Amino acid sequence: MSSTSVPDQGSPGGAPRHLGWILTLLALAQLLYGLDLNIVFVALPEIGQELGFPGQTQQLVVSAYVVFAGGFLLFGGRAADLLGRRRMFVLALSMYAVSSLAGGLAPSPEVIVAARAVQGIAGALLLPSTLSLINTLFEEGPKRNRALAVWGGAGASGLTIGALLGGVLTDNFGWPSVFFVNVPFGGLVALCALFVIPRDPARTERRKFDFPGSLTVTGGSTLLVFALVEGPERGWGDGLVAGAFVLAVVLLALFAVVESRSADPLMPFRLFGNRNLTVGMLVTFLYMATFGVLPYFLTVLMQSVHGYSALQTGLGFLIPSLAIATGTQLGERFAGRIGTRTTLVIGFVVGIVGTAGLALGFDSDASYAMLVPGLIVSGVGQGIVWTAMWIAAATGTAPQEQGVANGIASTALNIGNAIGLAIFTVIAEIGTDGKAGQALTAARADGEFLVVLLTAAGMVVGLLVTLALRRQPASAAVPAPGSEEEALATR
């Protein structure tokens, strides 16, 4: 890792801090965020059996995290900008540790769902603060690209390593271990951050938190993600789901009105004049609606169709984890040599080919070996896109607004995942009604085959969106934030 150092802005004499150690902590935090999205998947059957969770409500253990992580991301971005990036980073990790301890000790379904909700809020505070630290401590260009590749490799691999680790822990130590593992992990990273990450600089200007904007967008986003996650489970005509949709629309519309009239808005609409951020936001949405849903359907295929144990399912994710990690490093190298736009195009093309090939393994009679080529190629494409999309979203935004810009992109990421799962789980269940045994297994496999092909089609949309980015040589100088050249470059 780089040994480049930055001054500790709050220490006497500006004692240097090594960026390599800082990046290690930021990558570990992102690994924790990615792990917690998927680590409970393979443990759900045991959680349901021991705590008396009916099968149709076990998904709440997953959705509670997704709903609150998606709803609080913009709030988390604003908090990082105003209250301090290191402060929010340490607070978020501490919340992870405490809520994970509560989840592992949970005596009832209500407690474990509440613990997952708090984990989701912690994730919403963690992701923008982590990205903001990278985008302010590492200068725009090759250094930041390299840092985003390391951070991205940890996060993208965490999405699949979560299933691997969840399987190993559940099989050997029981379901509480998928929560307990976060306690020392989160606590240790938070403690080290106090000694390694520079202190937050003193605020030189008075800025308001924009509580009306925070309340309306947090409430609207949370209700929207809740409706999208619960719609497939409860039915789209369910009163609670429909009511959540209506109230979400009202609150988000009110948020738009509040922001248009605020002197210091939570989400300045002028940020969308930066084409990199706008395209990056759309790409993160499509990424999570396509690449991001594959681990869920792979888990269903392995456990429900092929009858793999928790450990076998976890081990099945080792290959895609390595492929994704490889892709993130390739994404950094490509972005530095051929530019972000071309890198995203390459990533999506590789992902489309690999995911289409992956669909061939979604057959009730297919072996795991049939999945391997698709898992490798799709995983490499996924890793390339993951690194490049964050580079795009971070380019051209002023340092004091990196938190909210990252909150915007991260919100798109989580809503993309919620919408993708909502749509594709409905499609996957088509044709399964009234079937049982081998007929049900075959119907599930057929539904998932169609879903994987549709995710590949969604990646084509991502490829087309990427073309809206300006073609910029990798060696081109990066204009200073606020300059006339930057203003022209981001339009």
Q: Of the candidates 389, 274, 291, which has an alpha carbon nearest to the alpha carbon of residue 340?
A: 389
pLDDT in tens, 67-89: 788 778 888 888 887 888 899 99
* Residue 299 confidence (pLDDT): 82
Look at 275 and 435; give whichever has higher pLDDT. Answer: 275
| pLDDT the model gives residue 254 | 92
Q: Dump pLDDT digits (tens) for 224-265.
A: 888 887 777 777 888 888 999 999 999 999 988 887 887 777
Helix (H) or strand (E) holding 431: none
Helical residues (DSSP H) of 138-272, grouped into ranges: 142-173, 177-180, 182-196, 211-234, 239-261
Q: Which helix (H) or strand (E) holds 18?
A: strand 16-18
Q: What is the DSSP letter of 484?
A: H
Which residue, 454, 480, 466, 459, is CA-closest to 389? Answer: 466
Distance between CA 186 and CA 394 in Å, rounded? Answer: 26
Q: What is the mean pLDDT of residues 62-68?
A: 80
- Written as six digits, the tokens of 236 are 């789209």
Instruction: Between 50 and 206, name the one with better pLDDT.
Output: 50
Residue 12 — pLDDT band, cuts 50, 70, 90?
Answer: very low
pTM of the full structure: 0.76
- Digit-coded pLDDT (tens) for 442-491: 777 888 899 999 999 999 999 999 998 876 554 443 443 343 334 333 33
Q: What is the pLDDT of residues 153-186, one digit of tens each?
A: 777 667 667 767 777 788 788 889 889 988 998 9
d(CA 291, CA 347): 11
pLDDT attached to residue 157? 67
CA distance 349 to 363: 24
C-alpha 221/C-alpha 430 separation (Å) is 28
Mean pLDDT is highest, among 123-137, 296-310, 405-419, 474-488, for 123-137
Q: What is the pLDDT of residues 311-334, one digit of tens each?
A: 787 788 888 888 988 998 898 889
Q: What confidence score (pLDDT) does residue 189 get?
A: 92
Mean pLDDT for 403-408 is 75
Look over the chain and give the mean of its residue pLDDT values, rounded to a whole number: 81
Over the stretch 100-139, which tens digit does the pLDDT of each residue have?
999 999 888 889 889 998 998 998 899 888 888 888 888 7
pLDDT higher for 262 or 10? Answer: 262
- Kindly indicate the confidence band of residue 208, based on its pLDDT and cuts at 50, 70 and 90: low
**Cβ atoms of 197 and 222 closer than 8 Å:** no
Pick the range with the lowest mean pLDDT from 2-6, 133-137, 194-198, 366-370. Answer: 2-6
Q: Percentage of the chain with pLDDT > 70? A: 86
**Nearest C-alpha neighbor of 98 from the set 78, 75, 121:** 121
- pLDDT score for 205: 61
pLDDT at residue 6, rounded to an integer:
43
For the residues 284-290, what does the mean pLDDT come to? 92
Yes or no: say if 3 and 24 are a contact pair by the CB < 8 Å rule.
Answer: no
- What is the structure's pLDDT at 204? 59
> Using CA atoms, how far apart are residues 121 and 33, in angstroms rounded to an integer?
11
Lowest average pLDDT, out of 64-68, 133-137, 335-339, goes to 64-68
The pair of three-digit structure tokens given for residue 13, joined into one six-digit string: 């004499």
Q: Tokens for 125, please give them.
A: 């505070």
Per-residue model confidence (pLDDT) at position 8: 42
Query: What mean pLDDT is predicted for residues 196-219?
Result: 76
Percent of the chain's residues with pLDDT above 90: 23
